[in-house]
Amino acid sequence: MNEAKATAKLANQVALVTGASSGIGAGVAAALAKAGAAVAVNYHSNADSAHALVDDIRKSGGRAISVKADVGQPDDIARMFSAVHDQLGDVDIVVANSGIQKDAPSIDMTLEDWHKVIETNLTGQFLTVQAAVRAFVARQRKQQFADGHPPHSKALGKVICMSSVHDVIPWAGHVNYAATKGGINMMMRTLAQEFAPQRIRINAIAPGAIRTPINKEGWESPEALEKMMKLIPYKRIGEAEDIGNAAVFLASDDSDYIVGTTLYVDGGMTLYPGFENNG
Ligand code: NAD
């Protein structure tokens, strides 16, 4: 290991990112690896993209594995955490990022689409965080760190839930999605309160409009992009790297006193941009 790697912010740490074969998850996995963490890239269906990201990380001198799991399925979650433990070691950082949209006017929304989005975005994140906390606590029981945390981190473990600006901005035609993101806020804060005494830090990132496959129709044409800019005071679309940088901060000791907070990374989307020109 070279000197730069040894002094990297997340050196000697193991991270798991769910839904990391595309978009924000891929950007977060790459950023955590660049900061020195060994990274498990979870994927649901796109094995090729996950393997390509793992190859990229390895080519840059990092450690990475890919692991398939559906975050809505408890057995998959258990298998995923065992694979990470067996192949990379004790997990320090977990990013519950997986999420889907199944949009429809609320009057037409099927119960199936309601349930599917809740299962992946809310239940999936809960199961991921629950498994993360179990892994952190098991590690402390086994290794008995004198100060309650391993030498390479001031916390026993760090969790980041991927929320959205739609945890506070209502979104007509996306009621299932907005309900999950609002739910993540209270789930994250409750879990943060519950596990902070064990030196486990749980926080969330709320991205604004980030250029990924989930919102392609919002940025793929110049007209759509222009319309989007009306919602963004900072007048640019976000990139996965913007979220990756925030994730490195929330996973590192730089944020050691930040517990139960949602960090908005949104170019000002939550600042009521309709009032930019006097309303
Ligand atoms: P994306 O579609 O590229 O990523 C979503 C990922 O979740 C995919 O890799 C997908 O395979 C994975 N996934 C879906 N169902 C899964 C399951 N059952 N088990 C495991 N993985 C599953 O879109 P993205 O924009 O990168 O979204 C990532 C997260 O960021 C989501 O939680 C999304 O709600 C949130 N977000 C995105 C934006 C944005 O503008 N792109 C804004 C706010 C929040």
State pLDDT tens for residues 68-79.
999 999 999 999
Q: Do 174 and 109 contact (CB within 8 A), yes or no?
A: no
**Cα of 214 to ligand 1 centre, how many Å?**
7
Phi, psi of 262 (to 5 degrees): -105, 125
Q: Work out the pLDDT band at 5, boundaries 50, 70, 90.
A: low
Cβ(23) to ligand 1 under 6 A?
Answer: yes
Whether 177 is catalytic? yes
Listed in sequence order, the residues at least 6 apart from 27 whose beta carbon sits closer than 8 Å to its beta carbon are 239, 240, 241, 243, 244
pLDDT of residue 278 exceeding 90, the answer is no
Q: Work out the pLDDT band at 7, boundaries 50, 70, 90.
A: confident
Mutate to test the pocket of ligand 1, among 17, 22, 24, 113 (most ligand atoms within 8 A of CB): 24
Cβ(162) to ligand 1 under 6 A?
Answer: yes
Phi, psi of 269 (to 5 degrees): -60, -30
Q: What is the pLDDT of residue 1?
A: 46
Please check whether the domain covering 3-266 is classified as CATH 3.40.50.720: yes
Catalytic annotation, pick one of 43, 177, 257, 272: 177
Compute the distance between CA of residue 239 and CA of residue 250 in angstroms, rounded to an integer: 18
